[in-house]
Amino acid sequence: MNQGLYINGEWTMGRGVASREIINPFNRKVIATVAEGTREDTQDAIAAAREAFDYGPWPRLKASERAALVRALGDAVQEHREELASLESLDTGKTLEESRWDMDDIAGIFRYYADIAVTDMADAPIDSPVADSTSTIVREPVGVCGQISPWNYPLLQASWKMAPALAAGCTLVIKPSEITPLTTIRITELAQEVGFPRGVINLVLGAGNPVGAELAESLDVDLISFTGGIETGRKIMQAASGNAKKIALELGGKNPNIVFADANLETAVDYALNAVFFHAGQICSAGARLLLESSIHDDFVFALRARMERIVIGNGMTEGTQMGPLISEQHRDKVERAIQLGRQEGATLLSGGTRPTNPELQDGFFVLPTLFTDCTSSMRIVQEEVFGPVITVERFESEDEALRLANDTTYGLSAGFWTNDAQRQQRMSRGLRFGTVWVNDFNVYFVQAPWGGYKQSGIGRELGRAGLEEYLETKHVFQNLAPKSLNWFGR
């Protein structure tokens, strides 16, 4: 596998001399050393993408011709499923089975956008109120796109951006997280193999500053798509104002999971675990904020704690592991500070909260599954995104209180609730101010449905037809079929 940058159809180690070691978060072993891109490398990649968009064949191909290559890339992902899944698990620490699920999703995402690009980009005639004229809505690609993806789902999140942009006819400069670049490098190799033209896909590795900063600031970039933290998102918004480029931001969430007394408690407990502990809680949509109706609180917490303490943690590459490590030492420190803050705020640490004592896990970045009770919505442990294997529990007495507590957040990415009351299902679905609401389920997503948040969870949508819309401009073409002089001026 290449270990450098991909610019204008060529692999290069870039203009700089710096490199970065990529480590396995399970044991801190170096699994690769890759080039570290510079601001000048990023400028070169932007220039290549600009040239390919302005003068190259890609945006001028028939939608069906672009779709064929996008679909071929999805097929290549499926063909290399095991290789890509292994790279993803080594790089992130997540279980191999989770990475396999990701690869299946990714292949489907490319195929989906290949299919809808053919239909959704067709010119659409509309009725003109002017006699002897035609009026047509034309969908065109937005242009050069800077795409910055996160470390928790490196290739999955990259595919959410790459697939619709390519199907639309855009050209790309991709910047994966500097700590998890391996699968993005590999899919770039696959894109080269299936035959994407020079300059259409460009890859620059490196830190947010300078690489991401240059993408956000450049006057030659037409759109910036970013998934990550709120502070970086704000900086990107400010930088993008230089040329008023389009922005698409997915900035995380603090997602409530609400359980009413009439729910199936055994199933709700199972899903409360699923909502948080996949990928050690490093999921933007994690249901880390558990709201329980008071009458079931004690029984629910008892059952939840018992199962949490049986979670098998270990090497994601080992069969039987249910939860792997956190991504890095720095991130583990952040999670541990949040746990300490929760204790200081008065929440009851009922389970976990420490590192495992198993000697085999000492080199990895592990934190035990952690359960806080006696939480209130005013606590920072409840309001701030921990991004780790931590659940906070709040009580509520009524439906109105549950809705008020759930909406008491600056975020609005996702929420779920559990009840068998059909009328309550309708009221809660409408009342929750989140981009995705799950009823008697949690953490379900699929490519046909849009993904994004309200409030500080971001701007714009990924996936679904809305995900393609982000990468399109809408043009109105009006033609007068029988022009006649008005003779208004100077007659």
Catalytically active residues, by annotation: 250, 284
Instruction: Please give the Cα distance from 181 to 154 (Å, whole number).
Output: 7
CA angle 141, 142, 145 (to 5 degrees): 110
Burial of 448-459, coded b for 16+ CB within 10 Å and e otherwise, reads: eebbbbbbbbbb
Which segments of 8-118 are extended strands (E)? 10-12, 19-23, 30-35
Instruction: Please give the Cα distance from 248 to 225 (Å, whole number).
Output: 5
What is residue 244's DSSP assignment? Answer: T
Q: How far apart are the first and last CA of the chain?
A: 73
Which segments of 331-396 are extended strands (E)? 348-351, 370-373, 390-396
Question: Residue 174 corresponds to which tokens in the numbers above?
Answer: 């991709």
DSSP 86-108: HHHHHHH---HHHHHHHHHHHHH
CA angle 73, 159, 276 (to 5 degrees): 135
As to burial, measured by CB atoms within 10 angstroms (0-12 exposed, 13-18 middle, 19+ buried), residue 68 is middle
Instruction: Please give the Cα distance from 380 to 432 (Å, whole number).
Output: 21
3-state secondary structure of 133: strand
Q: Where are the alpha helices (DSSP H) in 208-328?
A: 213-217, 230-240, 265-277, 294-308
Q: Where are the alpha helices (DSSP H) in 169-264?
A: 182-194, 213-217, 230-240
Containing 7, the helix (H) or strand (E) segment is strand 5-7
Asked if residues 18 and 48 have their Cβ atoms less than 8 Å apart, the reply is: no
Match 């080992």 to its residue by tokens. Answer: 318
Instruction: Please give the Cα distance from 386 to 384 (Å, whole number).
Output: 6
Write the single-letter amino acid at 191.
A
Instruction: Please give the Cα distance from 425 to 431 (Å, whole number).
Output: 10
Long-range contacts of 446-452 (CB under 8 A, 24+ apart): 447/105, 447/108, 447/109, 447/112, 448/112, 451/160, 451/250, 452/250, 452/413
Asked if residues 203 and 177 have their Cβ atoms less than 8 Å apart, the reply is: no
